[in-house]
Amino acid sequence: MRSPLFATCLLAVAFACSKKEENKKPIETAAPEATAMVNGKSCYLYAKGRDTITMSLAMNANNANGELIYRLDGKDKNEGTFSGTFIGDTLFADYSFSSEGTTSVRESIFLRTGEVLTEGYGEMEEKSGKMVFKNPRKVQFDAKSIVLAKTDCKE
């Protein structure tokens, strides 16, 4: 026979687990057709000190592709292209880039809020020659993130 104390403990654990889930900010997973983006080209820039990141983003419905260049002080320049899809306000893309003569591919996730794109970060691992997020639902967008602001495109 189970005691009332056991039942109370079980309820407390269930309540604590459900509260923990409420505090997480999940990645938006709205249906692509419900959140179609405007077709065309946009440009974004991050500039702080001697660090710059530039992105040109071409949209066709929810499909996105373009160029992305990282010039971070003290690090090798990464220059390449990306291709991906917006799901809700989140861009999921593969970034193919070259650095020091080596070509690599890594998963990139950006959160769109108004006129800015915030780059997500999290624990990554290599799978089939590509760096991917271990758990895309745990990608973080916070004060440590790089924020690219919309800017005029240079032709």
Could you tell me the pTM of the whole model?
0.74
Rounded to a whole number, what is the distance in angstroms from the first to the last CA of the chain? 77
CA-to-CA distance for 128 and 105, rounded, in angstroms?
Answer: 10
pLDDT digits (tens, 9 = 90+) for 23-58: 334 444 443 333 445 578 999 999 999 999 999 999
Q: State the average pLDDT over residues 57-67.
A: 93
Q: What is the pLDDT of residues 108-146, one digit of tens each?
A: 999 999 999 999 999 999 999 999 999 988 999 999 999
Longest CA–CA separation in the chain, Å = 77
Residue 74 is predicted with a pLDDT of 87
Count helices and strands (H / E) in the chain: 1, 10
What domains can you pick out in the chain, each with its CATH number? 32-151 (2.40.128)
Whether residue 101 is predicted with pLDDT greater than 80 in this model: the reply is yes
